[in-house]
Amino acid sequence: MAMKNYDVVVCGAGIAGIAAAHALSEAGVKRIALVEPGPVLGLTSDKSTECYRNWWPGPGDTMVAYMNRSIELMTAHAQRSGNRFLMNQRGYVFATARPEVVEQFERQALEAESLGAGRLRHVRSSADYIPARPEGLGSALDGADLLLDKAVIREHFGYLNADTVAVLHARRCGSLSAQQLGMYLLEEARARGVELVVAEFVGAETAGGRVSAVQLRAGEREFTVGTSALVLASGPYLKATAGKLGVSLPVVVEKHIKISMADPLGAVPRSAPLIIWSDPIDLPWTAEEREALAHDDDTRRLLAQFPAGVHGRPVGAGDQVLMYWTYDCPQDDHPTFPLTWDPHLPEITLRGMSVLVPGLAAYFDPMPKPYVDGGYYTKTPENRPLIGPLPVPGAYVCSAFSGFGIMASCAGGELLARHVTGGPLPGYAAALSPKRYEDAAYRKLLETWDASGQL
């Protein structure tokens, strides 16, 4: 049988591979194979908290410019599709009970402003503040509102800890349905001829040093397809798939687990944005509970202070609330499935969230059965993605999307397609290309890089 030929073979049908195939087809590439052995969007891309933000630290404006572009593209898709993937712009709300954090909020907001995320506004009265619309888009607001007046905070965020002294509301942020976005992009791509091939990428052939063919396996059957362009979008298997090309990429996988549970009492309003507590937390326990926990080697750690950053939001049309706390995220070279987690994680997360939203304390005893799941962040040392050509001519990468792959996918796919088709590259292209590690000055910068932008 004659070998089938494609212009581009994309390996992996998570959100990154689908967005890449979509953008390539939009750019006019005709014969595209999207190769995936498992369910589409089924490995990491359906485990996300489904939030987006243009709120990113430096150095430089790379991440802000990149996310601004991705949000622009997602917004255009939302408008074109009648908002099929339920994108809203409720924002991200950071809250603190520590007066000394106010200065840090201001500094972050001014940095974000200088990088292009939008202006910082000091809210002095309710008249200065525009609450977010619960659903849909249509707000031109960006930047952030800083609320310091306790009465204004209580008026708009009465469900938060009563000791909250400051709220920083970042506005070009919100949430969406990642599955629906992915399916929308996949349907459009398939309508333009992208072919979904149920198979695993197992290796590549080269001719004259360039990619000339890709070896695939479907069950017991191995076969080869001809192509001059291969895109790795293999999520947590990036290191392994790049290894098949003889390429070593500086990525690790980091395990992240989240919970969701019913909130029939409405402790978190259904219209709430993503809410984040910016203070370290001593979990709330009664005196008797403390004593019992202190006696057991396994539970004594529950009395230690936990880091800032617990966050959550309402999800779906029912009464579920999603909660997530990146307090313990082990790293490894390769993922291990099925995922395992600390049996105390759900209770730790709920108790942490109850510091931010005291109404959640009603669910301590007995705690309703939570739904627990998660996945792996595939991360570079500086927590920026890898998009661009690999050292083997004809091979590209569109991956290492860490904890931001849903929000970053549209601009990631666009950038990848520009690399493959030789289109004009945006200003952030070089900073996201794997080639950046060839620059000695960049490698030096990595030694002191301290802003990951991870929540």
Ligand X SMILES: Cc1cc2nc3c(=O)[nH]c(=O)nc-3n(C[C@H](O)[C@H](O)[C@H](O)COP(=O)(O)OP(=O)(O)OC[C@H]3O[C@@H](n4cnc5c(N)ncnc54)[C@H](O)[C@@H]3O)c2cc1C
Interface residues with ligand X (CB under 6 A) are 11-17, 35-38, 42-45, 47-52, 200-201, 233-237, 241, 256, 258, 374-375, 377, 399, 401-407
| Whole-number Å distance between alpha carbons of 411 and 74 | 9
Rg of the chain over all Cα atoms, to the nearest angstrom: 23
Least distance to ligand X from the beta carbon of 319, Å? 20
CB within 8 Å of 30: residues ≥ 6 apart: 7, 193
Contacts of 291-300 with CB under 8 Å at 24 or more apart are 299/344
- Least spacing, CB of residue 225 vs ligand X, in Å: 13
Least separation, in Å, of the C-beta of 277 and ligand X?
17
Nearer to ligand X, 19 or 165 (CB): 19
Cis peptide before 366 (omega within 30 of 0): yes
Q: Minimum distance between the CB of residue 39 and ligand X, rounded to whole angstroms?
A: 7
C-alpha span between 359 and 126 (Å, rounded): 24
Minimum distance between the CB of residue 378 and ligand X, rounded to whole angstroms? 6
CB of 407 to ligand X, least distance (A): 4
Closer to ligand X by CB, 15 or 395: give it: 15
CA distance 341 to 373: 9
Which CB atom, from 231 or from 283, has the smaller least distance to ligand X? 231
| Least distance to ligand X, CB of residue 299, Å | 25
Q: Which residue carries 């792959």 as its tokens?
A: 405
- The amino acid present at 380, given as its one-letter code, is T
Find out whether the peptide bond into 99 is cis, omega within 30 degrees of 0. Answer: no
Residue 120 vs 174, nearer CB to ligand X: 174
Please give the single-letter amino acid code of residue 18.
Answer: I
Structure tokens that stand for 433 in this block: 């290309």
Nearer to ligand X, 49 or 83 (CB): 49
To which H or E segment does residue 205 belong? Answer: strand 200-207
Cα(12)–Cα(272) distance, integer angstroms: 34
Question: What are phi and psi for residue 14, nearest 5 degrees?
Answer: -85, -170
Instruction: Check: CB of residue 313 under 8 Å from CB of residue 274.
Output: yes
Size (the chain), residues? 455
Closer Cβ to ligand X, 35 or 153, answer by number? 35
C-beta of 156: minimal distance to ligand X in Å?
23
Return the number of the residue (143 or 374) whose C-beta is nearest ligand X.
374
Q: How far is CA 238 from CA 15, 217, 340, 411, in A?
A: 14, 17, 21, 19
Minimum distance between the CB of residue 324 and ligand X, rounded to whole angstroms?
6
Please, are residues 437 and 368 in contact by the beta-carbon 8 Å criterion?
no
Q: Give exposure, 186-219, as e/b (b: 16+ Cβ within 10 Å).
A: bebbbebebebbebbbeebeeeeeebbbbbbeee
C-alpha torsion sign, points 442, 377, 53, 97: negative
43 vs 345, beta carbon nearer ligand X: 43
Looking at beta carbons only, is 200 or 414 nearer to ligand X?
Answer: 200
As measured in angstroms, the least distance from the Cβ of 339 to ligand X is: 9
What are the backbone dihedrals phi and psi of residue 167, each rounded to the nearest 5 degrees, phi first? -130, 130
- Which CB atom, from 117 or from 407, has the smaller least distance to ligand X? 407
Q: Which is nearer to ligand X, 106 or 215 (CB)?
A: 215
> Helix, strand, coil % (nearest 5) of the chain?
30, 25, 45
Minimum distance, C-beta of residue 450 to ligand X, in the bound complex (Å): 21
> To the nearest whole angstrom, how small is the minimum distance from the Cβ of residue 102 to ligand X?
26
Q: Which two tokens stand for residue 351?
A: 């108790």
CB closer to ligand X out of 153 and 417: 417
Residue 301: C-alpha distances to residues 287, 291, 298, 343 (Å): 16, 13, 7, 13
